[in-house]
Amino acid sequence: MADYQLPPKPKNSGVKMAKRIVIAVLIVLMYVWTFASIDIDWARAIERAMDNFQRVIPELFSPDWSAAGEVSLAMLETVFIAFAGSLMAAILAVPMSFLAASNMMGGKIFSATGKWILSAVRAFPELILAILFVVAVGPNAFAGVMAIAIGSTGMLGKMFSEIIESIDMEVVRGMEANGANKIQVLFYAVMPQIIPEFLSFAIYRFEVDIRASSILGIVGAGGIGTMIIFASNNRNWNEMGMILLAIIIVVTVIDFTSARIRRKIV
């Protein structure tokens, strides 16, 4: 080895080191504190887990095929809820995104208002929205559709507005310079640039919504979640196994298909 000189130590390395140690100690203390204060009877918990595992796991792996018909109907409803919800969201998100995009409506007030509304909408998890809509429209699939639609509008609106903000504005100005009016510019310069990405995100959101809508039945908003909660209350683990199998198959197939479609679009 040649006689290379080592780089000089960064300045204040002692202070930095001390800072890191303090942070590490604080984090460890936080964990100790939380685990100490939640009162768990570890011995009993482990014993029960072992016991349940031996009983539940094998049953999960031998799904109840006689429930297949009922399960696939419920799964189909779940897919429909996700589809209707994400379609509504994709439509609602378009005007919201144009409002929120800083390069479209001209004016920071519009953009700030739009962004503020979208993040307010995004703050609610689907499950909370589902509870609200079950109260509002009754315990049925429509409540699930509304919950998915509103929940997805927040995310899609934000994504869409970011796509709009990233377009090539030179093309827009060029078209204005050649005598096109605002609406023509929208159709000829803006839309060709945004539509593929809009579609791609809408499909991705549909993928996410399948997973979200399979849980909504737990609060009575339709779909396969209703069956999950019944099966678990009745300790019917064979049926639960069937439900999980259906969810796994559908989610995998849709993920795969949507990935292929999205690759084609962009």
Partner 1 sequence: MIEFKDVGLVYPNGTEGLKNINVTINDGEFVVIVGLSGAGKSTFIRSINRLVTPTTGSLQVDEEDIIGYHSGELRKLRTKVGMIFQNYNLVKRSNVLKNVIAGRLGHTGTFRSVLNLYKKEDVGLAYESLKRVNIEEKVHNRADELSGGQQQRVSIARVLTQQPKYILADEPVASLDPPTSHQVMTYLKKINKEDNITTIVNLHFIDMAMEYADRIIGMRAGEVVFDGPVSEVSEQTFEEIYGRSIRQDDLRGGAEES
Binding site for partner 1 (CB under 8 A): 168, 170-171, 173-181, 183-184, 187-189, 192-193, 196
Report whether 97 contacts 105 (CB < 8 A): no
CB 126 within 8 A of CB 151: yes
210 close to 223: Cβ distance less than 8 angstroms: no
Is the Cβ of residue 54 or residue 181 nearer to partner 1 in the bound state? 181
The minimum distance between CB 185 and partner 1, in angstroms, equals: 8
Q: Residue 40 — left, alpha, or beta (φ > 0 → left; ψ -120 to 50 → alpha)?
A: beta
Report the SS3 class of residue 142: helix
CB of 94 to partner 1, least distance (A): 16
Distance CA(62)–CA(46), nearest Å, equals 24
| Nearest approach, Cβ of residue 79 and partner 1 (Å) | 31
DSSP string computed for 67-119: GHHHHHHHHHHHHHHHHHHHHHHHHHHHHHHHHH-TTTS-SHHHHHHHHHHHH
Six-digit token string for 87: 């379609």
Whether 96 and 116 have beta carbons less than 8 Å apart is answered as: no
Residue at token pair 């080191």: 17
Torsional class of 64: left (φ above 0), alpha (ψ -120 to 50), beta (otherwise): beta
